[in-house]
Structure 1
Amino acid sequence: MAAPLEVIVTSDSGSQLWNSTVFDLHSGSSLLSYRGGNSSARTLAVLRGEFLLSAQLGKNFINVWEIQRKDQLQQKIVCPGVVTCLTASPNGLFLAAGVAEAIYLWEVCTGKLLSVLSRHYQDVTCLKFTDDSSHFVSGGKDNLALVWSLCSVIQLDLSHTPEPHLHCGLMGAQARVATASLDQTVKVWELSSGELLLSVLFDMEIMSVTFDPCEYFLFCGGSDGNIFQVSLCSQSLSRDKSFQSDNDGNQVFKGHRNLVTCLSVSMDGTLLASGSHDETVRLWDIQSKQSIRCLTHKGPVTNATIMAAPANMFLPDSRPAVPLPRFSRHLHASEVDAGESGEVCVRLGLCTQEEEETYLQKADRLNSLMNAVTDKSVFGDGENTKVRVAELEEEVQTLKKINKDLYDFSSQLLTKPT
């Protein structure tokens, strides 16, 4: 039988025999099970299509499996505290985890801890990278959601404090962010500007939210077990509205008996997967709003996501192209340790850092200004032009003298006998 293109990966908090399970999207049959503990909510992640990661429920470490070796727990990443959320960048270069109110960011190729971000005032509850891995979004119990620029977070200037922007939630394909809250609202934001595009008020708490791939609909999981479909293409759509079921795309999926904790839509936008505390994962046909499959679990569902099946998931003899290193527990490793390890680290974002202008660069810039004197619109006519030229010539001579003195001093220092 041919390997499936899409699979459902789920986990629950009550199973004693396995941690996570892979199901066929269309038949519902169980394909793989990964053993070892239980996964916390919003901590299931696939890294480079080669590793499955999840944070251990109530513990301070992250489990790592090679994605095709279901029975072997490859390693554990020890963290400073209980991991509340976890995500991997789509390009496979970075791993981010929420621990209490802080966000820990690792570089995957070296295992180095690049940054510890402490801008939330209470526990971080969700993390998500953008599709191009340039930003990631964090949401917390402090009612804040922050968008972080990856380049500003990992830059080498340790004295610089990265500044987040106030946004929130899960990422859409068109640079929009959806946030769900216990204040009974779901909000849609524009990622780049932080502008509020839509606010939908419900009559209950919303526990989960997601877009379909084309962003025609917004799906919201309620605390009563219902799933609400909000049309984003309605002609009567205003920025602030209350949810009402109608024939214009706003519908309700009924079937769960407890709060809906996770939602995911298939790549073609026809199927919706939902996980609930009623210990089931349901697969819905979006057009008919009918539940076409129910996958029973042993405890409240913590993770359920539809994903493209990695190429080597069903190839037992395959191995990751590059093994994972040991992940650091400390933010700044010593220079001695870095030298002994023999690692070469290429860091993103260095080209964005501003360098101080050298004396020669200043001289060239001033010379360019002098050449622009012929343009009367720059400095004017007559005596004003002559005075300005004289000032510039004097400054150039001063800079040349400083540069020569620095060169002579350096030469004497380097040639001085030891």
Structure 2
Amino acid sequence: MAAPLEVILTSDSGSPLWNSTVFDLHSGSSLLSYRGGNSSARTLVVLRGEFLLSAQLGKNVINVWEIQRKDQLQQKILCPGVVTCLMASPNGLFIAAGVAEAVYLWEVCTGKLLSILSRHYQDVTCLKFTDDSSHFVSGGKDNLALVWSLSSVIQLDLNHAPEPRYVLSRHSLPITDLHCGLMGVQARVATASLDQTVKVWELSSGELLLSVLFDVEIMSVTFDPSEYFLFCGGSDGNIFQVSLCSQSLSRDKSFQSDNDGNQVFKGHRNLVTCLSVSMDGTILASGSHDETVRLWDIQSKQSIRCLTHKGPVTNVVIMTAPANMFLPDTRPAVPLPRFSRHLHASEGDVGDAGEVCVRLGRYTQEEEETYLQKAERLNSLMNAVTDKSVYGDGENTKVRVAELEEEVQTLKKINKDLYDFSSQLLTKPT
């Protein structure tokens, strides 16, 4: 059987056996299950299509599985505190995690902790990267959503704390979820809050485009891929569909169900914590604290499948199945390094010796070596070390060379004698 193109990746907080499960999007059958603890909300991510990461519920640990090895936990990343949200950049180069009121940013190829962003005043609740990995947005219990430019966050000047590009500050209560649309820097960002509103922002300018007021608190939010609709999960179990193409759309409005695209999906009995839309925009997946994941046909607003879980659902993601997810004999192209817990590498952390590191730095205090210059310097150093170990150094070099040449001649003579002796034995008449 061919591997499915799209799958549903889910987790809950109550299963004693499985951390997360992969379901077929169209049949609802269980395909894979990953062992080891339970995942916190908004922390289940796939890195480079080769690793599955999730933060352990209530602990300061990020669990790592190779995507095709479902029964074995491969690695644990220790963090300074309990991880409240986790996200990997789409290009697979960086991992961002919310720990208390700070955002920690790691470089995947080296495991180095690049930045600790302490601009929020209360706990960070959600993180999202843009699809081009150039920016990410963090939302927190301080009612703020901060837009960060990745190039300014990983600058080499550690004397100046990075500042967000924009501060989105129109919410009056904690932000519960956010979603970044497509088109990179030109994307639109939706933020949901306990203040019963969902707001849509323009990422490039930080301007507020739309604010929708609901009758209940909103716990989750997402767009469809074409961004015709905005889906909002409520604390009463309802999912609200807001049309973004209505001619009567004003910047501030109250949600009302009508025939113009604003509809309500009814079926969950408790708050809806996570939403995801299929690649073709026809299926909506929702996870709830009523311990179910429901699949909805968006056009008809009907629930087409219900996937029962063992506890409140913490993560639901519809994604394209990685190529090696169902190939147990494959291995990741590059293994994950050990991740540092400190901004400045200390004893016991990953060292800097002999590394060539390329970073997207926007500001530099002084002129640095180019990649080619570093490569040439390291190559010269390696040759020098090799020459020293083989030949020695100083006045002994010529003596050592003469000794090696004499040894080569001796070996050649021994080889010739062995050849002659073997020839005589083979040609001797019996």
Q: CA deviation at 1:134?
A: 0.6
Of 345-354 and 299-308, deviating more is 345-354
Q: CA deviation at 1:382?
A: 70
Contact 1:84 1:99 in 2 (8 A): yes
**Can you list the C-alpha shifts for 1:361-403, whole angstroms capped at 9, x where unaligned?**
9999999999999999999999999999999999999999999
Contact 1:363 1:396 in 2 (8 A): no
Contact 1:171 1:178 in 2 (8 A): no
Q: Residues 120 and 2 (structure 1 numbering): CA distance in 2 closer, same or farther, change over 3 Å?
A: same
Q: Residues 82 and 336 (structure 1 numbering): CA distance in 2 closer, same or farther, change over 3 Å?
A: closer
Looking at structure 2, the residues matched to 356 and 411 of structure 1 have their Cα atoms a distance apart, in angstroms, of 64
Q: Residues 365 and 32 (structure 1 numbering): CA distance in 2 closer, same or farther, change over 3 Å?
A: closer
Looking at structure 1, the residues matched to 277 and 302 of structure 2 have their Cα atoms a distance apart, in angstroms, of 15
Looking at structure 2, the residues matched to 209 and 245 of structure 1 have their Cα atoms a distance apart, in angstroms, of 17
Contact 2:185 2:203 in 1 (8 A): no
2:228 corresponds to which of 216, 224, 228 = 216
Q: CA deviation at 1:159?
A: 1.3
Contact 1:173 1:213 in 2 (8 A): no
Using structure 1 for the length normalisation, give the TM-score.
0.82
1:306 aligns with 2:332: no
Contact 2:292 2:313 in 1 (8 A): yes
Contact 2:128 2:179 in 1 (8 A): no
Looking at structure 1, the residues matched to 266 and 414 of structure 2 have their Cα atoms a distance apart, in angstroms, of 78
Q: Residues 130 and 394 (structure 1 numbering): CA distance in 2 closer, same or farther, change over 3 Å?
A: farther
Looking at structure 2, the residues matched to 183 and 417 of structure 1 have their Cα atoms a distance apart, in angstroms, of 105
**Can you list the C-alpha shifts for 1:90-136, whole angstroms capped at 9, x where unaligned?**
00000000000011000000000001110001000000101110111
Of 382-391 and 51-60, deviating more is 382-391
Of 23-32 and 395-404, deviating more is 395-404
Looking at structure 2, the residues matched to 118 and 355 of structure 1 have their Cα atoms a distance apart, in angstroms, of 29
Q: Residues 169 and 158 (structure 1 numbering): CA distance in 2 closer, same or farther, change over 3 Å?
A: farther
Of 4-13 and 345-354, deviating more is 345-354
Of 187-196 and 405-414, deviating more is 405-414
**Can you list the C-alpha shifts for 1:177-226, whole angstroms capped at 9, x where unaligned?**
00000000000000011111000000010000000000000000000000
* Residue correspondence of structure 1 range 336-347 to structure 2 within 5 A: 341-347=353-359
Q: CA deviation at 1:348?
A: 1.2
Contact 2:181 2:188 in 1 (8 A): no
1:374 aligns with 2:386: yes
**Can you list the C-alpha shifts for 1:218-265, whole angstroms capped at 9, x where unaligned?**
000000000000000000101100000000000000000000000000
Q: Secondary structure at the match of 2:419?
A: helix
Q: Secondary structure at the match of 1:257?
A: coil
Q: CA deviation at 1:352?
A: 7.5
Match of 1:28 in 2: 28
Q: CA deviation at 1:408?
A: 69
Q: CA deviation at 1:349?
A: 2.3
Contact 1:366 1:396 in 2 (8 A): no
Q: CA deviation at 1:161?
A: 1.9
Q: Residues 56 and 334 (structure 1 numbering): CA distance in 2 closer, same or farther, change over 3 Å?
A: closer
Of 338-347 and 396-405, deviating more is 396-405
Q: CA deviation at 1:333?
A: 1.4
Looking at structure 2, the residues matched to 254 and 261 of structure 1 have their Cα atoms a distance apart, in angstroms, of 15
Q: CA deviation at 1:2?
A: 0.8
Contact 1:135 1:150 in 2 (8 A): yes
Q: Secondary structure at the match of 2:53?
A: strand
Looking at structure 2, the residues matched to 63 and 108 of structure 1 have their Cα atoms a distance apart, in angstroms, of 15
Q: Secondary structure at the match of 1:351?
A: coil
Q: Secondary structure at the match of 1:316?
A: coil
Q: Secondary structure at the match of 1:230?
A: strand
Looking at structure 1, the residues matched to 231 and 85 of structure 2 have their Cα atoms a distance apart, in angstroms, of 21
Q: Identity of aligned pairs, percent?
A: 93
Q: Residues 413 and 8 (structure 1 numbering): CA distance in 2 closer, same or farther, change over 3 Å?
A: farther
Q: Residues 106 and 382 (structure 1 numbering): CA distance in 2 closer, same or farther, change over 3 Å?
A: closer
* Residue correspondence of structure 1 range 283-294 to structure 2 within 5 A: 283-294=295-306
Contact 1:43 1:85 in 2 (8 A): yes
Structure 2, gaps ≥5 residues long: 165-177
Q: Residues 385 and 39 (structure 1 numbering): CA distance in 2 closer, same or farther, change over 3 Å?
A: closer
Q: Secondary structure at the match of 1:341?
A: coil
1:37 aligns with 2:2: no
Of 389-398 and 63-72, deviating more is 389-398
Of 369-378 and 232-241, deviating more is 369-378
Q: CA deviation at 1:342?
A: 3.1
Contact 2:96 2:104 in 1 (8 A): yes
Match of 1:200 in 2: 212
Contact 1:172 1:211 in 2 (8 A): no
Looking at structure 1, the residues matched to 10 and 41 of structure 2 have their Cα atoms a distance apart, in angstroms, of 10
Aligned residues: 417
Q: CA deviation at 1:30?
A: 0.2
Looking at structure 1, the residues matched to 191 and 422 of structure 2 have their Cα atoms a distance apart, in angstroms, of 58
Contact 1:81 1:100 in 2 (8 A): yes
The alignment's C-alpha RMSD in Å is 15.8
